[in-house]
Amino acid sequence: MVDAENKNLIEVEVAYAKPEAQVILTIFVAEGTTLEQAVKLSGVLDHYQDINNSELKLGIFGVVCKPNQTLRHGDRVEIYRPLRRDPKEARRNRANKPS
């Protein structure tokens, strides 16, 4: 809950998941904060060196968004990992694989 003294702060979550672990951090940021700013303020980039800051792919609740999109109270910023391979190609390979 946002403290009454800090009416211009909003509560958001920053989430990052790997196959072996996930982290969801709750932070308070100023109104007008962008997705990219929230990720930097959360400190998650310092703990996960595999996140490429120059190629951040971000979203809010499963919807891909631009890094400069402004956050609202209660939003969950999600940091997406790059795909290891093209999903269409993987499906095609599975379909062509003999049973």
Q: What string of pLDDT tens digits covers the 99 residues of the chain? A: 445 456 789 999 999 988 888 899 999 999 999 999 999 999 998 888 777 777 789 999 999 999 999 999 999 999 998 766 666 776 777 778 776
Residues of the domain holding 67: 4-96
The CATH number of residue 20's host domain is: 3.10.20.90
How many domains does the structure of the chain reveal? 1
3-state SS, one letter per residue, for the chain = CCCHHHCCEEEEEEEEEECCEEEEEEEEEECCCEHHHHHHHHCHHHHCCCCCHHHCEEEECCEEECCCCECCCCCEEEEECCCCCCHHHHHHHHHHCCC
Segment 3-31, tens digit of pLDDT = 545 678 999 999 998 888 889 999 999 99
